[in-house]
Amino acid sequence: MSVSVIDLTSAVSNTLPIANGGTNRTTVPAYFHGYVPSDTGSIISGVTNAPITAVTIDTASGFNTSTYTYTVQPGYAGYYQITVKGRCRNFSNNQSSNVNQYYGYMIKNGSGTWAFESDTITNQLYWTGSYCITGIAQLAVGDTIRNAASFAGSGFGFRGVDTSLTLIQLYGV
């Protein structure tokens, strides 16, 4: 029995077609996870981006820690599973800080794509509320995603570690 050796540097292309069990990709799919590293204090005023500065993984180098925004890079357009999670609390230590409404947002290209809403939470000292939004979206090169929240009240901010953004590229286009 003869054993053949295939030179993988010249005899095989760097893309395995879908028909042969591959992904038809030459790059690793995009995967990102980042989070707010510590409590922020009372920073939420209007729609406020979660200050995500701790990055666990970013295979496509798409996240900007100055703007807290993920941007789809060239070669990474496709379908993504996106999850935004947030935990917010009343940092004002004021029991009379009423929350008439609070919202968590997954924002695509500057406008609220998906939102979570909760109504009427009153007189809660050290109140803490959470949101989690998960969806699948087709993203093009240059599309942006961010995690944000807003409150009808004052003294609220993000809880550290519990507030995050995750993107997983499911399939390229």
Give the model confidence (pLDDT) of 4-28 as tens digits: 665 555 555 566 566 665 556 666 8
Q: Which of 18-22, 47-51, 69-73 has the highest mean pLDDT?
A: 69-73
pTM: 0.79
Task: Output the CA torsion 160→161→163→168 (10° steps).
Answer: 150
- Model pLDDT, residue 120: 47
pLDDT digits (tens, 9 = 90+) for 137-155: 999 999 999 999 887 767 7
User: What is the bridge-based pairing of β-strands 48-49 and 99-108?
Assistant: unpaired
Domain ranges of the chain: 29-172
Strand ranges (DSSP E) for 140-163?
144-151, 156-158
| 63 vs 42: which has the higher pLDDT | 63
Task: Please report, rounded to a whole number, the percentage of residues in the chain having pLDDT higher than 70.
Answer: 68
Cα–Cα distance between 111 and 114 in angstroms, integer? 9
- Region at 78 (left for phi over 0; alpha for psi -120 to 50; beta for the rest): left
In contact, 35 and 54? CB cutoff 8 Å: yes
CATH of 29-172, one of 2.170.150.20, 2.60.120.40, 2.40.50.100, 3.40.50.150: 2.60.120.40
At residue 171's C-alpha, the angle toward residues 132 and 20, to 5°, is 145
Distance from CA of residue 100 to its chain's centroid?
Answer: 26
Nearest-angstrom CA–CA distance, 140 and 79: 9
Stretch 41-61: mean pLDDT, rounded? 91
Q: How confident is the model at residue 156 (pLDDT cuts 50, 70, 90)?
A: confident
For the chain, give the percent of residues with pLDDT over 90: 42
Neighbours of 91 (CB within 10 A): 21
